[in-house]
Amino acid sequence: MRKLQNAELQRKSVDEFKSSSKTPIVIVLDNVRSLNNVGSVFRTADAFLIEGVYLCGITGQPPHKEIQKTALGATESVAWKYLDSTLDAVNELKNDGYLVYAIEQAESAIMLNNFMPARKQKIAIIFGNEVKGVQQEVIDASTDVIEIPQVGTKHSLNIAVSVGIVMWDLYLKIR
């Protein structure tokens, strides 16, 4: 088995990415502190042709050296928007016809492996602060809560890892 060279991967140009049909998902970052995590989210959004990323509250915004270090140019391909309030983002997305789901550990949360979105349904997925998670008022305004099943001793995953897990799972289910 031979490893493929970059030229053989047939990757889209930024213009091709922008004009491509997108996976009907918006990622919402609720007060994410780490600029490296923000950059990683952009890269994951690019990998799965995600519609866009909403950066809310204290979440850093491009252009920034630390975001670029992990985004590797994905801030140029993935559409993004900044809002002061995650709650405003939730309300805007709901008004635009999105179902909005928070990724969190909560009573009666739907386990990710059991979550089955309608094919082609527009959805927004909220990921929270590295320490505090998704704000309770944002959870209250969400359509529902999805939880990533975990069975180890730790009770959380790094946000960039969580985004990768959830986007891969939803990409398979939606497309």
Q: Which of 32-41, 81-90, 118-127 has the lowest mean pLDDT?
A: 118-127
Name the average pLDDT for the chain.
96
92 pLDDT band (50/70/90 cuts)? Answer: very high
Which pLDDT score, from 0 to 100, does residue 55 have?
98
Would residue 9 count as lying in a domain? no
pLDDT score of 120 more than 90: no
Environment class of residue 17 by beta-carbon count within 10 Å: exposed (0-12), middle (13-18) or buried (19+)?
middle
The answer to whether residues 169 and 110 touch, using CB atoms and an 8 Å cutoff, is no
Which pLDDT score, from 0 to 100, does residue 118 have?
86
C-alpha span between 158 and 43 (Å, rounded)? 15
The answer to whether residues 84 and 56 touch, using CB atoms and an 8 Å cutoff, is yes
Would residue 6 count as lying in a domain? no
What is the average per-residue pLDDT within 79-99? 98
Which pLDDT score, from 0 to 100, does residue 158 have?
96
C-alpha span between 65 and 3 (Å, rounded)? 30
Rounded to 5°, the CA angle 77-144-150 comes to 80
Would residue 121 count as lying in a domain? yes
Would residue 16 count as lying in a domain? no
Which pLDDT score, from 0 to 100, does residue 68 have?
97
Nearest of 124, 147, 141, 137 to residue 29 by alpha carbon: 124
pLDDT score of 142 more than 80: yes
Would residue 54 count as lying in a domain? yes
- Where is pLDDT greater, at 118 or 115? 115
pLDDT digits (tens, 9 = 90+) for 43-81: 999 999 999 999 999 999 999 999 999 999 999 999 999
The answer to whether residues 86 and 126 touch, using CB atoms and an 8 Å cutoff, is yes
If one counts the domains in the chain, the total is 1
In 31-72, where do the E strands start and end?
50-56
Would residue 1 count as lying in a domain? no
To 10 degrees, what angle do helices 159-174 and 35-47 make?
20
Would residue 93 count as lying in a domain? yes
Where residue 96 sits, what CATH number does that domain have? 3.40.1280.10
Structural domain for 56, as ranges: 21-174
Environment class of residue 155 by beta-carbon count within 10 Å: exposed (0-12), middle (13-18) or buried (19+)?
exposed
pLDDT digits (tens, 9 = 90+) for 16-26: 999 999 999 99
Would residue 10 count as lying in a domain? no
